[in-house]
Amino acid sequence: MRPIKLEITGLQSFSKKQVVDFDSLTSLGLFGIFGETGSGKSTILDAMIFAIFDEIPRTMGSKGKNIRPCLNQDSDILEVYFKFALGNDIFEITRTYKKKFSRKGEEKFEQSNPILIINKDVVADTVKNVESKIDEYFGMSVHDFTRSVVLPQGKFSEFLKLKGVDKMTMLENIFDLEKYGTKMSEKIKVRNNKLKDEITSLENQIKGKGDCSLEKINDIKENLILKENEYNTLIKNKAELEKEFNQLKELKGYFEKLDTYNDELQKLQLSEDKVNESKSLLEKHIAADSFKDLIDEIKNLKDSFIKNKGELTTSKTTLDTLNNALEVLKTKENELQMEIEKIMDELDNLKVDYNELDNLRKGDEYIRALHFKEKLLQESINSSNGLELDLDSLSKKLKENKENLKTESLNYENLEKMDTQQILQFENEVKELSNEISLIESKLKDKESLEKEIQNIDEKKVSTLCNIDNCKSKIEEISKKSLETKAFEISKSLVSGECCPVCGSKEHPNPAKDTESVDLNELEIYSKEKDQLEKALIEIDTKLNYCSDKLNELNNLKDVETLRKELSEKEISLNALKEKEKELLLKESDLKNKVSLLKNDISSISLAIDEKKLSLDKIKSKIASSEEDILKEKEKIASLNLERDSIEFIEERKTLLENMEREYREVLSRKESLNDSLRVVKDNIFKDLNEIQKINLAVVSLEEKNNHIKDSCNEKSERLKTEATTKGFNSTEEILSHIFSEEKVLELNTFIENFEKDYTKYSNLKDEILKNIDNRTFDLKRWDELSSNLEEISKEEQNLFKEVTEYKGELKRVEQLFKESKELLEKIEQLRLKQDDILILQKKFEGRKFVKFLARKRLDYIAYEASKRLQKITRGRYLLTVDNNCDFNIVDAFNSNFTRECSTLSGGETFIVSLVLALALSSQLQLKGKVQLEFFFLDEGFGTLDTSLLDRVIEILEEIRWKEKMKIGIISHVEDLKIRIPRRLEVSAAIPGETGSLIKLI
């Protein structure tokens, strides 16, 4: 997390909006916020916490309705805008509280919906949603935040002083270790159950595949080999017979073709005269075809003349016909009018009483419905009697099955029960022993390497002690020489009778002698080397103690052989219990099946009885309904007031009235038809008059055309006669008889060509066949014998091929099943190995042991990281450790490594230890990766440090800033710090009645 910009309005001493530009403020890495006590320095820190978490932990009752005390008295609004970076994401949060007054004048303080913007997109705009998103990205509470990242007043040493349980809880929350506790146990449990289900499913799949053993596969292979040998022998014999058969078949085909070719040639010889005749006809056709166009012209003229003449005759005839038809139509018009008048008189005599006819029709419908319902009533009564008989039979059967169920259920209850808990206990003990043996064996392998490591550490310790002794002797030697040099310098200035500044004597009989000069830089080098060696010795002792404790644990391990013997005994007992359990389960399954079948029968019979009863109730209800319907029908018939209510009377009277109605409708229809006919006659008279006029005009036109056609036809006929005589034709009919159609000409040419082609083809084929026969003869008896033998062999071949195919299919199926079963068994074995690992894990994660282990490891590492900085600040004096209760202790290297509680530290020492712990915790959060920390804030404690210690703290903070690229902020009123921190923010205290706190960047 890296702050970018902060805007504060109306919070505590800030009445007007003040802006903090963190990009400029943190440009040099280390920065400070300075001002008088009460000027509002810590309020800047409060504003940042308030923007993120909607809380100000420094102020009591600062959440929800109790935020009122944080509002500046001169402001009606409290608003904080905070912009910061988290990794590559830019966050912007705005929180606002407004002062309002009710109708009664009471002051209220209401919160507006906060707004959270990530990368310029609004992602939340309600209190709950913003809180959820902040928790998602930060993963820590406000309390954890103020213990490790932003340390306001009163919170700086809280992590140091937290007791063991609270400290571990805080670490679990910050580092999200709960996922390794209950959640992980649940996941392991679910995974274990899933593995059990998978194993059971795979075992059921193997059972479902049936017998697919190697013995069965070998039996199928033996039978297949026998059948294949038999089949191959048969194929060999068949091939020899087929060879001879094919030779005879080929010869037979030759003789058959020879007969065919001879027949074809004889047929062609018979049609030779016809071919010559066809050739002559073609020659005549060519000569006659040259007159075709002239003949067609003459014919067309004659046809036109005849056609026109016919049309003229037709027109005249039509004219006469139309005149006659006109007279007929006029006569018919008069007749139709007279007939319509007669029909009108007849309609007046035919009238029907429609009310009576309607009643008769209803009466017929009601009486027929009555008879039908009486029939349905009788059928329902018969069905009811049948259902009652079925119910008696089913009740007896139900009683019998219930007695049988009672007997079988008693047998099931009396069946011996297996103690599954005992089996589970044995299985768990076996697994625990196996795991324990594996664990001990793995630990014993580490024992030898651990002993070597202890030996190396001892050697290193002896070497380090020797080096420390050498440094001490060198330091003593140089110090002694330095004293002698100083004494010589003093002795040079001694005057007889004056007091010696060392011993006070006025006499100086033995003054100090001159010695070699001493290099004080060498003394400082040996002192630093001694300090480094002492630090290294502390680390060596710590590591040696740890390795010794580990070795003691390994020496106290149980005997492996004893555990293996115990494991073998328990496995034997477990197998015996499982065999017994299997027998009991088979018996239990058999009884369960019987009971289940009886229950199903009872259930189905009960269901059938219920259905029968329901049907019986429906039928009885139907009978009652039918009786009511019959009464209603009788009432309807009575309401019609018929003379008689018999079907026969109603039919007779209804038929009479319907016939009268039908006759009336027929006469009426006849009248309408006559009216239509009269209209048609009048229309036809008008049409005929128009047609007569048109035909008269057409007759005159046709007579003129015929005279012209007659003259043209006589001229062309004379020309045809003259030209035809020159080419040997005596008449037009003879010419036309020799003009053939294209199809006929094509037919004659094709006939001639086919004859010549076929004659040549069959002659050549005959010669070729005679050459192939080569004077051989065809043995018909041998042909029939071979055909019969091949037919029998083919049938036998089909049967053998079918058997071989079936054996191959069965072999392939069984081998596939065997392969699948083998794969399933391998999967089951792998799943069981995984299940064993899961059970070991399940035991490891019981009771939050792993969470506590991880939290302790985190705490140890934080203490280790804090100790490195603490040693540097205190020049190797203090080392931070964690006791068995997870409380921090201080090891004083300058006091024989004496260990004491942190509560014994002075104020300055407490500040230093709290600082290094907070820095270590922040580094761990950085490594955790959920909150990428890029800054660290301190708000107290620097006033308790002397100048030397303050310099070392600043030096450490600078080193952190440089190495870890972290922005570090300090809030203080200590003037000496201003000189050491070049980039700072000055906060001016508020002036009552004039202005609030003001911020200035320097």
pLDDT at 517 over 70: no
pLDDT value, residue 65: 47
pLDDT band at 489 (very low <50, low <70, confident <90, very high): low
pLDDT value, residue 929: 44
pLDDT at 932 over 60: no
Q: What are the phi and psi torsion angles at 24 (to 5°)?
A: -75, -40
Task: Name which of 580-584, 606-610, 998-1002 the model is least confident about.
Answer: 580-584
Interval 48-76: pLDDT, tens: 888 988 888 766 444 444 677 788 877 88
Give a three-class secondary structure readout of 554-570: HHCCCCHHHHHHHHHHH
Interval 810-847: pLDDT, tens: 888 888 888 888 888 888 888 888 888 888 777 777 76
Q: Which residue in the block uniquely carries the two structure tokens 């027109």?
A: 315
pLDDT value, residue 174: 67
pLDDT value, residue 497: 62
Interval 114-144: pLDDT, tens: 999 999 899 998 988 998 888 888 767 777 6
Give a three-class secondary structure readout of 593-632: HHHHHHHHHHHHHHHHHHHHHHHHHHHHHHHHHHHHHHHH
CB count within 10 Å of CB 325 equals 17
Q: Considering only CA atoms, which of 707, 731, 706 is closest in space to residue 295?
A: 731
Average pLDDT of 433-441?
A: 76
Give bridge partners of residue 967 from the DSSP assignment: 935
Q: When comparing pLDDT for 908 and 787, which is higher?
A: 787
| Sign (positive or negative) of CA dihedral 812, 817, 820, 825 | negative
Interval 442-475: pLDDT, tens: 777 767 777 788 888 888 888 888 988 888 888 8
Give the rounded percent of residues in the chain with a pLDDT score beyond 70: 86
How far apart, in whole angstroms, are the C-alpha atoms of residue 563 and residue 395? Answer: 66
CB count within 10 Å of CB 167 equals 22
In a 13 Å sphere around the CA of 191, the CA atoms on its Cβ side amount to 17
pLDDT band at 486 (very low <50, low <70, confident <90, very high): low
Q: Which residues contact 566 (CB under 8 A, 6 or more apart)?
A: 433
pLDDT value, residue 511: 66
Burial of 912 (0-12, 13-18, 19+ CB in 10 A): buried
Instruction: For residue 686, give Cα distances in angstroms to 683, 689, 699, 862.
Output: 5, 5, 21, 126
Q: Tell me the range of 778-782, 887-891, 974-978 where mean pLDDT is highest.
A: 887-891
pLDDT value, residue 176: 65
pLDDT at 282 over 80: no
pLDDT at 82 over 90: yes
| 694 residue type, one letter | K
pLDDT value, residue 984: 86
Interval 956-979: pLDDT, tens: 777 777 766 778 888 887 777 777
pLDDT at 200 over 80: yes
Per-residue exposure over 100-116, b if at least 16 CB sit within 10 Å of its own CB, e if not: eeeeeeeeebeeeebbb
pLDDT at 419 over 70: no
Tokens standing for residue 829: 């074995």
Q: Tell me the range of 54-63, 188-197, 477-486 where mean pLDDT is highest.
A: 188-197
Average pLDDT of 544-559?
A: 73
Q: Considering only CA atoms, which of 606, 612, 604, 608 is closest in space to residue 384?
A: 612
pLDDT value, residue 513: 63
Q: Which residue in the block uniquely carries the two structure tokens 């990530």?
A: 118
How far apart, in whole angstroms, are the C-alpha atoms of residue 126 and residue 138? Answer: 18
Pairing of strands 983-988, 30-35: parallel
Task: Name which of 223-232, 466-475, 619-628 the model is least confident about.
Answer: 619-628
DSSP code per residue over 1-46:
-EEEEEEEESBTTB-S-EEEEHHHHTTTSEEEEEE-TTSSHHHHHH
Tokens standing for residue 210: 């049936």
